[in-house]
Amino acid sequence: TGHSPQVKAFVTQDIPLYHNLEMKHLPGADPELVLLSLRYEELERIPLSDMTREEINQLVQELGFYRKETPDTPVPEEFQFAPAKSLPILLPCHVPTADGKTPSKCDKEEHPDL
């Protein structure tokens, strides 16, 4: 089954503009959008093969992915971890690592400039 030209256009032209959106190409597999939480747990899969490029763009923006003007545009601070909807409420630094310690970056004082 060939991928639809719509999906292909999205993959080649639109994905580079989205922050935190990565394409993993599986030969022969239908294109799917797999949403992961911050801890890389799979939240849901959305098949893209029947969607138009327009619909896919709308979908990822509704999911909260940040679309840049060009692939090199810097991402605003508040979108660094977007789509925020799929993130746990706890900030990443409060999630203990496998050995039970919290990551050291949290030991620094809170940013006074926030």
| Cα–Cα distance, 88 to 47 (Å, whole number) | 24
pLDDT by residue (tens digit) across 16-25? 999 988 887 7
The pLDDT value given to residue 41:
84
- pLDDT of 107 over the 60 cut: no
- 5-79 classified as CATH 3.40.228.10: no
- pLDDT of 82 over the 90 cut: no
Neighbour-count burial of 26, counting CB atoms closer than 10 A to its CB (0-12 exposed, 13-18 middle, 19+ buried): exposed
pTM over 0.75? The answer is no
pLDDT by residue (tens digit) across 31-67? 888 888 777 888 888 999 899 999 999 999 998 899 9
Task: Say which residue the tokens 């639809």 belong to.
Answer: 4
Of 91 and 2, more confident: 2
What are the extents of the domains in the chain? 5-79
Of 57 and 99, more confident: 57
